[in-house]
Structure 1
Amino acid sequence: MQAERVPPLHARIGQACYKCFKDEDVRLSRCSGCHRISYCSSECQKLDWRQHKAMCKALSGIESNPLAMATLCFSLSSEPTTDLNALHNMTEAHGSNMLQFCERSLGRQSNTGERNLVGFEPRCMVCTRTDQLIRMEVAQKGTTSGSEAPKKLIPCPRCDLSFCCSPAHWEAARALHYAPSCEDGHDGLSHCDMNREVRADLKFAEVMVGAHDVSGQFRWAPERLKGAWASVVGLSWEGEFGEEMRRDVGVPEERPMGPWVRAASEHLSMPMSILYALEKLNDGDAWTKKHTLTVHILGGDRTEITAAPMFEEILHRLPEVKTLKLVLCGPQMEGNHIPRIIPLETCPDCTRLGRKRIHEHVSDTYHGYVKNKGTKFEKPDLCIAFNSGASQSSMHSWPATFKVLVERKIPSLFTAYNCEEAEGEAVLLRKAGATLLPALGPVKNPWGSIKVIPEPNKIYGFYAANGWLAGGFK
């Protein structure tokens, strides 16, 4: 049975059909109950009604709830601000209150799709008003007057993913929205430019549906073997992979490679981050000439299993290494505490040269794995945790692992989705006694994915797989 796709961003904000995700050559109609999502036909709405009914009732019920109206409208100001901290605090407070009211109506915890509807609700960039808040204000105060009174959110004419509630607020937001070098962006792009890339990536994912898998993810693993190790410092995604990918995939010369490279970077960021960390954590290049290179991946799960072919890029860039051994260790791994050895295929060139890839799967915390190994534990060349969430949702399980890594002086690197998570994890690592290398965090990861996603419950900002290095030490 084919899994249901999670509605993409433009469907969550009413710019694509919430059921079939079409956004072109269709006439979209808003749900008359919640006014949040859209459908391209009555057929799609009927098919989706069973799933949407409860959340529709919860969202629409807020406007007839005096307590909800008072709570959500309390902190609104008619004066615009470009203070990002103030804006983020307002949007996070609004999102939290919205979720509480919705879950009270649902009588249960919200699921991912329902939380996405709250977290990605369009809002004014400089006052945080949403269409619903505008309606609620009108209901409280009566008919608005004056040409500047907000009626409905106005989308940016360039990116269509950022909004303001009035022309005056657009003027206040313009400098920040169009300013170059968005903090969470890349290549000096503005917030607006990053939004345009997000929209291009949404269209690319739709093209990929059916061609690869139901999620629309594009995975590409280079198959060439480099003649010698060369530093990965100072290289770029498109400069390093763009033309090679164009030849492999068959993209015409006149078409830009941006969407292809961004999509591929989501999984390739793992092996490239490993190589970058090894280069920064080692003096000299002796590590590039080892017979067997061993990397332990902490908190491993299906993400790393699905991306298994991508890790061969490590072998392809280290021609003197004969065997790559990856130990995927995490409570989410299938099985039990007994390691499961899985030999993997290699590309024709690596196979001809007798090179090997070995994966070991362990369902355990890393400190549990080290303890169970006892005297048989062998220190790896690198331990790495991708997007660990150590400072967010998984705080309880990581301190003991930090202690093991620091006490045994194991070369390690932690990555994070965004700056906030990276800085939080850096604090925890230092608290555990780690001496962090400045080049390895907290800092933007040069080999983090450049396929970005707008942050939920925020006006500005993006996150990406391995987008930041939280901390590296040895």
Structure 2
Amino acid sequence: MPPRLDYSRQCAELEKIARLEPRPAAPSDPAAGLAAPSPAATCLVCDAGPARPCDRCGGVAYCGDEHRRLDLRWHAPVCPALRAIADDLAFFAAHARPWLEARLLARAGRTAALPTSWDAWLGPDLAPVERRCLSDLATRPLTLAHLLGLLSEHVPKDISNPTAIHVIAAAQRERDVSPALWRELERLHPDRRFAITLIGPELAPGDLGPGVRAVTALYRRDLWPALGRPDLVIGYDCGLLLYPTWKPTMHDLRGSGVPFALTSYRAWEAAGEARLLRAIGAEPLLAPTPNPFASLSARRSSTLANDLAHDNAFMSAWR
């Protein structure tokens, strides 16, 4: 995991983000304070320790009130979300993944109709922390199910052959999705069967269960003879703007006749990816739009203490 930037560089990056994605004004919050000093904590601003964690979220620490107040502009808007992240991590630690998946599938079994929101799929009566955590487990298959509904006229359907899905830039988070969750696709799209191939350069290969396999590779069109021609390609939060290795992949997919979908953490990221894809001649099938099946459990930046995002927050589709 990359180390956190020093505080001045964190602030510079947050200023850039704020221009692209304005945050609410930091509230005046005299009731906020600091917990007792922790020998494991250092001040976010000056790196001195031991420091005192924020007594509401515990997610950042300061040497004293002066530096807490200095950072208030950046910390106050995300403090509740950092508290929620801590609660979510504790919930995941307290419950075995098989139990969580069984709980998730029991809730999901309430309806066979293609859902349009987490409430429609999970029901509205879950505790907030459980709702967030279950959404995080299911965001990838449910995002795919939602996209298949939106792109049904572009994705071939043949009940005698499975719909072939290639998941590009797949990593451990995709590999951790159990086959039972991927099989929700067949319950939500009963007129299809599915063959899902996860492809990523650092992915451990193997058959993961019925209709799901993992392949170690950078995704290129010349893999199709071995993997089979896909009916849909999807990349979850693959960072198209960050990595130059995406250029040949996008050129391969553009104009191939196979639709491909991307998800992004932020609106401005999705918009930037759209500009890039239009520039190379990709045809938009779905303009960047908020995803109703984004994870409700936020992910914290490893380099910016007061920055966070949600998996699969925006989605788009191209050909």
**TM-score normalized by the length of structure 2:** 0.70
Partner in structure 2 of residue 51 of structure 1: none
Partner in structure 1 of residue 181 of structure 2: 310
1:272 Cα deviation from its structure 2 partner: 0.9
Q: Within 1, Cα distance between the matches of 2:168 and 2:317?
A: 14
Q: Within 2, Cα distance between the matches of 1:265 and 1:196?
A: 18
Task: Report the secondary structure of 1:407's partner residue.
Answer: coil
Asked if the contact 2:267/2:314 (under 8 Å) is kept, the reply is yes
Cα RMSD after superposing both structures: 4.3
Is 1:359 the equivalent of 2:212? yes
1:423 Cα deviation from its structure 2 partner: 4.8
Among 74, 86, 92, the residue aligned to 1:205: 92
Partner in structure 1 of residue 128 of structure 2: 258
Among 303, 306, 310, the residue aligned to 1:460: 306
Asked if the contact 1:383/1:412 (under 8 Å) is kept, the reply is yes
1:283 Cα deviation from its structure 2 partner: 4.7
Task: Report the secondary structure of 1:294's partner residue.
Answer: strand
Q: Within 2, Cα distance between the matches of 1:314 and 1:390?
A: 26
Partner in structure 1 of residue 15 of structure 2: 85
Structure whose alpha-carbon radius of gyration is higher: 1
Matching of residues 386-405 of structure 1 within 5 Å: 386-392=236-242, 394-396=243-245, 398-405=246-253
Q: Within 2, Cα distance between the matches of 1:297 and 1:157?
A: 41
1:462 Cα deviation from its structure 2 partner: 0.6
Q: Within 2, Cα distance between the matches of 1:240 and 1:456?
A: 31
Q: Within 2, Cα distance between the matches of 1:226 and 1:369?
A: 42
Q: Within 1, Cα distance between the matches of 2:83 and 2:176?
A: 28
Task: Report the secondary structure of 1:384's partner residue.
Answer: strand
Task: Report the secondary structure of 1:300's partner residue.
Answer: coil
Task: Report the secondary structure of 2:164's partner residue.
Answer: strand
Asked if the contact 2:74/2:306 (under 8 Å) is kept, the reply is no
Partner in structure 2 of residue 222 of structure 1: 105
Partner in structure 1 of residue 121 of structure 2: 240
Is 1:277 the equivalent of 2:147? yes
Mark the CA change 1:84 to 1:333 in structure 2 (over 3 Å): closer, same or farther. Answer: closer
**Count of residue pairs brought into register by the alignment:** 291
Q: Within 2, Cα distance between the matches of 1:279 and 1:162?
A: 41
Q: Within 2, Cα distance between the matches of 1:266 and 1:242?
A: 15
Is 1:472 the equivalent of 2:282? no
Q: Within 1, Cα distance between the matches of 2:253 and 2:141?
A: 21
1:466 Cα deviation from its structure 2 partner: 2.6
Is 1:130 the equivalent of 2:46? yes
Greater share of strand residues, 1 or 2? 2
Partner in structure 2 of residue 415 of structure 1: 263
Task: Report the secondary structure of 1:222's partner residue.
Answer: helix
Mark the CA change 1:409 to 1:193 in structure 2 (over 3 Å): closer, same or farther. Answer: same
Q: Within 2, Cα distance between the matches of 1:391 and 1:160?
A: 32
Task: Report the secondary structure of 1:399's partner residue.
Answer: helix
Partner in structure 2 of residue 449 of structure 1: 295
Mark the CA change 1:201 to 1:410 in structure 2 (over 3 Å): closer, same or farther. Answer: same
1:395 Cα deviation from its structure 2 partner: 2.5
Q: Which runs of 5+ in 2 are unaligned?
A: 19-40
Q: Within 1, Cα distance between the matches of 2:208 and 2:94?
A: 33
Identity of aligned residues (%): 20
After superposition, what is the alpha-carbon deviation per residue over 1:64-121, rounded to whole angstroms, capped at 9, x for unaligned?
xxxxxxxx79x69xxxx99941699xxxxxxxxxxxxxxxxxxxxxxxxxxxxxxx96
Mark the CA change 1:420 to 1:331 in structure 2 (over 3 Å): closer, same or farther. Answer: same
Q: Within 2, Cα distance between the matches of 1:177 and 1:315?
A: 43
After superposition, what is the alpha-carbon deviation per residue over 1:155-213, rounded to whole angstroms, capped at 9, x for unaligned?
444323245666566567657655xxxxxxxxxxx5222122112113223323xx449
Among 40, 58, 77, the residue aligned to 1:160: 58
Asked if the contact 2:221/2:253 (under 8 Å) is kept, the reply is no
Structure number with greater CO (CA < 8 Å, separation at least 6) is: 2
1:288 Cα deviation from its structure 2 partner: 7.9
Letter in 1 for 2:283: T
Asked if the contact 1:242/1:257 (under 8 Å) is kept, the reply is no
Among 221, 231, 235, the residue aligned to 1:385: 235
Task: Report the secondary structure of 1:366's partner residue.
Answer: coil
Asked if the contact 1:191/1:460 (under 8 Å) is kept, the reply is yes
Letter in 1 for 2:57: C
